Chains A and B, each alone.
Chain A
Amino acid sequence: MGPGLTGYIIRRLLWAIPVLFILSVVVFWMLRLAPGDPIESRLGKAYTPEAAARLREKYGYTQPIPVQYVKYIKNLLQGDLGVSTRHPDFTAAEIILPKMWVSTQIGFFALLITFALGIPVGVYAALARGTFVDPMVISSWLLLDAIPAFVLVPMAQWLFALKLGWVGLRYEGVYTMNMVVPVLILALPGVAGVARLMRASVIGVMGEDFVRTARAKGLRERTVVVTHITRNALLPMITVIGLSLPGIAAGALFVEQLFGIPGIGRESLEAVTAPDFDVILALVLFSSFLFVMANVLVDVVYAFIDPRVRISSGRG
């Protein structure tokens, strides 16, 4: 990694700071001006103006918003993301991180399967262009994409748990047999999309001069397909993969809900409906940070594998 690249990475990461700052200001203000009230929702039927006033005092919600914000940022700089109003004995970080980690692991395996299947399917469809095989392959995967999760999940649960007895349905940790079905349900519907992108990319590359040259040189067809076509066609996929990465940390609400997975999707929904100010803010900041990171990662990966993409020191 040359000094230019290191500098570039550092610059990009520094750029994340103002982005996160602006985002935090906006979200902080919006949350406090929006109609939801965390204290009301926490107290429920036990709400009395008096009890609410005391809790507001305790959480500092009675202070002017700018004061609250400065306090929040001060704590943030010390690594304190605040406390959850729904689970007052947990900090926002303690609520979010374990759940994000669960979602990330599950999402990562799902993503892996999606691309591991989608890329070869796409290449295959592209090579079979013009025959009935091409649309058949793509549309058979699309079929899976077309079934909504709330139909697919109960079907899969019935088949694999009740009928075949291969898996259980209780959440017992990420690395258990019970997670195979949810991971596949997350992964398989995405295959069609990846395959179509890959197919388009391959078709684009197939028309390039260097492919013709390779064939003219008398290289074996397999070599042409693997080294010349597929490798080059994979380049645009890096962006797709890279930008899917922060998404997996956001979790999958439906699948998490139906399989009882304590992931971040469900947590986000509950935090937003509460609303749980500090948890929402932490979620926003985390996911935007991940998004920035993923962008940097994509650029860096490009720089490594494709000499045509160069990172000039002037780019930010």
Chain B
Amino acid sequence: MSNRTLTLMMGFVAFLILVVGVILIVVVASGGGDDNGGTTQADSSSGSAKTKTTASSSSASGICAGNTLYVPGNDPNSLLDPIQVVDVGTSEYVVEIFGGLVTLGLDLKVQPDIAKRWDVAQDGTTYTFHLRDDVVFHNGKRVTARDFKYSLERAADPTNASPTVKAYLGDVVGIRDRFDGKAASVSGVKDVDDRTLQLTLIDPSDFFLAELTYPVAFVVDKDQVEKDPRNWTRKPNGTGPFKLAEFSPTEKIRLVKNDRYHLGAPKLDEIDFQLSGGSIVTQYQNNELHVGFVPGVDLEAVKSGSSPVSKDYHPQPNMATLYINLNPKKPPFDDPKVRQAFAMSIDRENINTVLLYGTQRVATSFLPPEMPGHSDNVTGYSYDPDRAKQLIKESKYATNMPRVVLNYGGSAGNDPQLLQAIQKGWQDILGVQVDLQAIDTTAFLREQRKGNFQMLSDGWSADYPDPEDFLGKLFASDSTLNYTGYKNDDVDALLQQARRETDRTTRFTLYNQAEKKILDDAVVIPTFWPVDHLLVKPCVKNFPTVSMTVPKYRYVEIKP
């Protein structure tokens, strides 16, 4: 037996080596016949990066030699159709592919895009846009006022079921009627001539131009949409700085530059958004991505400069607010004293220093600092454990505190660690045990709409840079997004007044007053203004730090 065994063993080992060897060779040899044939130069250069073993600087030249930017991307949740966009994940691409009358610059100020200038009539309700005459769609066709009229009519067409048209363009005369099926066309949109578009508003509005920067107001190509109503979004003929070259869901989105872009052609040839996830951190380390994220455990090292990638650290503030909602209709939060006590027991500074290595921004009010109209003079309840204890004692739930549950969405970007720290504060200071319950995002939103919660952790990020987008949407009693059912007549009156006010300073003052009242009511406790922790390879120049989704990639350059 032993002789036989030996022979067998040797034979087996030989066989094993053979099999593994053959498979390796087959796989490597057929590597050329790669099935996504689109990428050529950049691929081969990154291929050479992989074969180098050490010295990250030398292999970084791989991705830094080409002119394709490799970035992790979000899988778009909605169509690449401007009127269907509901999420940041999709608008990130839509703002690069399409364009509208106006756009947001990196400073988040409204800037001309396809309209070179505009006049506002004396009464503030008629906007006349004068279009540039050198703007073309990606296929070379000139953009006219007629295209805009078509696009806006299309957005309002009830059969297209745009989820955003009412919220963003509802101020235009006739949009609501058209959307509700009461009219056959939109009366407030007129193409005076090829180069002139006139929009009439119901009321004067100081933030109308900001609303126009949202995708729902972008221009689409009538010929393309009508020719292929179902599939045109796969190769959309937009006017933006980049063209969509490839979209495979959960795999990749590839944008290539639009050489004829009227505001200046992009410097990159191509952007390759990797949607398939994978180990982004390791891929960044391995020089396969230009942009990565700092993993939570490395945050301290990266920030303190002791990590090899510290020099790549690119903190990216978000125009957003994380907050905790208290439902004033459910006990114990029907007692304002309990709400105030909860608000005063969150030691944000300490949590930020200890848990978050000082990388976040403590929210002292609701409007984030990047938001026009943000005022440092408006503040909510600050940390005051003694007063909080006192308030609980005075409240009607001093002795009979009911069970309190804090809900948070499974993927709403909430860090349970953060919530646990807050939870501990309530336990230690108020002696209230709060249960944390995660529920999946859709159910979470549904529960919110029904008002079936005591407390929830949530966040809001800006769609356009105006306080109306935060305060009006979340706290006006008639807003569909006012989930807590919060209703304060003073706040309603202030918001109403602000919406109509055309003087910016006065308007912002009104918003500040409303914000103060909202914070005093303690139905919402702002906790942090979030910061994303990006890593950007040193060869990527001009990677903008901008707190909102705006067209930004045309500024980016790769220079080894």
The answer to whether the Cβ of A308 comes within 8 Å of any Cβ in the partner chain is no
Contact A170 B288 (CB under 8 A): yes
| Option from A41, A120, A165 in Cβ contact (under 8 Å) with B59 | A165
Contact residues in A for B30 (Cβ distance below 8 Å): 175
Q: A58-B161, A89-B234, A168-B46 are in contact. Are A47 and B278 (CB under 8 A)?
A: no
Q: A54-B158, A95-B249 are in contact. Are A168 and B288 (CB under 8 A)?
A: yes
A153 to B86, CA, bound (A): 35
Contact B248 A262 (CB under 8 A): yes
Among B33, B47, B50, B275, which residue has the most Cβ atoms of chain A within 10 A? Answer: B50
Q: A41-B441, A54-B161, A260-B274 are in contact. Are A177 and B28 (CB under 8 A)?
A: yes
Q: A89-B233, A176-B34, A273-B440 are in contact. Are A51 and B161 (CB under 8 A)?
A: yes
Among A35, A95, A120, which residue has the most Cβ atoms of chain B within 10 A? Answer: A120
Enumerate A141-182 residues with CB–CB distance to B below 8 Å: 153-154, 157-158, 161-162, 164-180
Contact A86 B77 (CB under 8 A): yes
Per-residue CB contact flags for chain B residues 19-38 toward chain A (1 = under 8 Å, else 0) read 11001100110110111100
Q: Which of A61-69, A108-116, A242-250 is the contact stretch? A: A108-116
Interface residues on A, range: 35 or more
| Option from A35, A95, A127, A183 in Cβ contact (under 8 Å) with B8 | A127
Contact A113 B19 (CB under 8 A): yes
Question: Please, which residue of chain A has its CB at the minimum distance from the CB of B277?
Answer: A260
Among B43, B275, B442, which residue has the most Cβ atoms of chain A within 10 A? Answer: B442
Enumerate A86-131 residues with CB–CB distance to B below 8 Å: 86-90, 95, 98-99, 109, 112-113, 116-117, 120-121, 123-124, 127-128, 131
Per-residue CB contact flags for chain B residues 351-365 toward chain A (1 = under 8 Å, else 0) read 000000000000000
The answer to whether the Cβ of A219 comes within 8 Å of any Cβ in the partner chain is no
Contact B54 A175 (CB under 8 A): no
Q: A36-B442, A179-B27, A259-B278 are in contact. Are A172 and B34 (CB under 8 A)?
A: yes
Contact residues in A for B497 (Cβ distance below 8 Å): none
Q: What's the minimum C-beta distance from A135 to chain B, rounded to whole angstroms?
A: 14
Per-residue CB contact flags for chain B residues 128-169 toward chain A (1 = under 8 Å, else 0) read 000000000000000000000000000000100101100100
| Option from A35, A58, A120, A127 in Cβ contact (under 8 Å) with B4 | A127
Q: What's the minimum C-beta distance from A115 to chain B, rounded to whole angstroms?
A: 10
Contact residues in A for B233 (Cβ distance below 8 Å): 89
Contact B286 A89 (CB under 8 A): no
Contact A37 B442 (CB under 8 A): yes
The answer to whether the Cβ of A305 comes within 8 Å of any Cβ in the partner chain is no
A183 to B16, CA, bound (A): 16
Question: Please, which residue of chain A has its CB at the minimum distance from the CB of B167?
Answer: A46
Q: What's the minimum C-beta distance from A113 to chain B, rounded to whole angstroms?
A: 6
A127 to B16, CA, bound (A): 17
Contact A124 B249 (CB under 8 A): no
The answer to whether the Cβ of A43 comes within 8 Å of any Cβ in the partner chain is yes
Enumerate A253-300 residues with CB–CB distance to B below 8 Å: 257-262, 266-267, 270, 273
Per-residue CB contact flags for chain B residues 74-92 toward chain A (1 = under 8 Å, else 0) read 0011111100101100000
A273 to B50, CA, bound (A): 36
Q: What's the minimum C-beta distance from A302 to chain B, rounded to whole angstroms?
A: 25
Contact A45 B86 (CB under 8 A): yes
Question: Please, which residue of chain B has its CB at the minimum distance from the CB of A157?
Answer: B282
Q: A36-B442, A86-B77, A89-B79 are in contact. Are A180 and B27 (CB under 8 A)?
A: yes
Contact A87 B19 (CB under 8 A): no
Per-residue CB contact flags for chain A residues 188-226 toward chain B (1 = under 8 Å, else 0) read 000000000000000000000000000000000110010
Q: What's the minimum C-beta distance from B529 to chain A, rounded to whole angstroms?
A: 19
Q: What's the minimum C-beta distance from A134 to chain B, rounded to whole angstroms?
A: 10
Contact A169 B248 (CB under 8 A): no
A179 to B47, CA, bound (A): 13
A152 to B175, CA, bound (A): 57
Q: A169-B283, A180-B27, A260-B279 are in contact. Are A120 and B12 (CB under 8 A)?
A: yes
A46 to B81, CA, bound (A): 15
The answer to whether the Cβ of B427 comes within 8 Å of any Cβ in the partner chain is no
Q: What's the minimum C-beta distance from A55 to chain B, rounded to whole angstroms?
A: 5
Contact A173 B36 (CB under 8 A): yes
Question: Please, which residue of chain B has its CB at the minimum distance from the CB of A167?
Answer: B50
Contact residues in A for B57 (Cβ distance below 8 Å): none
A80 to B167, CA, bound (A): 35
Contact residues in A for B285 (Cβ distance below 8 Å): 162
Contact B78 A175 (CB under 8 A): no
A117 to B39, CA, bound (A): 36
The answer to whether the Cβ of A42 comes within 8 Å of any Cβ in the partner chain is yes
Contact residues in A for B86 (Cβ distance below 8 Å): 42-46
Contact A257 B277 (CB under 8 A): yes
The answer to whether the Cβ of B70 comes within 8 Å of any Cβ in the partner chain is yes
Interface residues on B, range: 35 or more
Q: A89-B79, A131-B5, A168-B46 are in contact. Are A43 and B163 (CB under 8 A)?
A: yes
A257 to B280, CA, bound (A): 11
Q: What's the minimum C-beta distance from B296 to chain A, rounded to whole angstroms?
A: 15
Question: Please, which residue of chain A has its CB at the minimum distance from the CB of B32?
Answer: A175
Contact B279 A262 (CB under 8 A): no
A278 to B35, CA, bound (A): 27
Contact A47 B449 (CB under 8 A): yes
Contact residues in A for B33 (Cβ distance below 8 Å): 175
Enumerate A67-94 residues with CB–CB distance to B below 8 Å: 84, 86-90
Q: A169-B288, A262-B250 are in contact. Are A89 and B5 (CB under 8 A)?
A: no
A51 to B167, CA, bound (A): 11
A173 to B158, CA, bound (A): 41
Contact residues in A for B251 (Cβ distance below 8 Å): 171, 262
The answer to whether the Cβ of A133 comes within 8 Å of any Cβ in the partner chain is yes
Contact A171 B8 (CB under 8 A): no
Contact B282 A158 (CB under 8 A): yes
Contact residues in B for A51 (Cβ distance below 8 Å): 161, 163
Contact residues in A for B440 (Cβ distance below 8 Å): 273
Per-residue CB contact flags for chain B residues 440-482 toward chain A (1 = under 8 Å, else 0) read 1111011001000000000000000000000000000000110
Contact B5 A171 (CB under 8 A): no
Contact A124 B446 (CB under 8 A): no
The answer to whether the Cβ of B227 comes within 8 Å of any Cβ in the partner chain is no
Contact residues in B for A41 (Cβ distance below 8 Å): 441-442
The answer to whether the Cβ of A48 comes within 8 Å of any Cβ in the partner chain is yes
The answer to whether the Cβ of B53 comes within 8 Å of any Cβ in the partner chain is yes
Q: What's the minimum C-beta distance from A207 to chain B, rounded to whole angstroms?
A: 16
Contact A40 B442 (CB under 8 A): yes
Question: Please, which residue of chain B has its CB at the minimum distance from the CB of A86?
Answer: B77
| Option from B9, B27, B54 in Cβ contact (under 8 Å) with A109 | B27
- 19 residue pairs of the A-B complex, CB under 8 angstroms, read A42-B78, A109-B27, A116-B19, A124-B12, A128-B5, A154-B279, A154-B282, A161-B282, A165-B50, A168-B46, A169-B279, A169-B282, A169-B288, A170-B274, A171-B278, A180-B28, A257-B278, A258-B278, A260-B283
Interface residues of B (CB under 8 A from A): 1, 4-5, 7-9, 12, 15-16, 19-20, 23-24, 27-28, 30-31, 33-36, 39, 43, 46-47, 49-54, 59, 70, 76-81, 84, 86-87, 158, 161, 163-164, 167, 230-231, 233-234, 248-251, 274-279, 282-283, 285-286, 288-289, 440-443, 445-446, 449, 480-481
Interface residues of A (CB under 8 A from B): 35-37, 40-48, 51, 54-55, 57-58, 84, 86-90, 95, 98-99, 109, 112-113, 116-117, 120-121, 123-124, 127-128, 131, 133, 153-154, 157-158, 161-162, 164-180, 183, 221-222, 225, 257-262, 266-267, 270, 273
Q: Given A42-B86, A113-B23, list of 5 further CB < 8 A pairs?
A: A120-B16, A162-B286, A170-B288, A172-B34, A260-B277
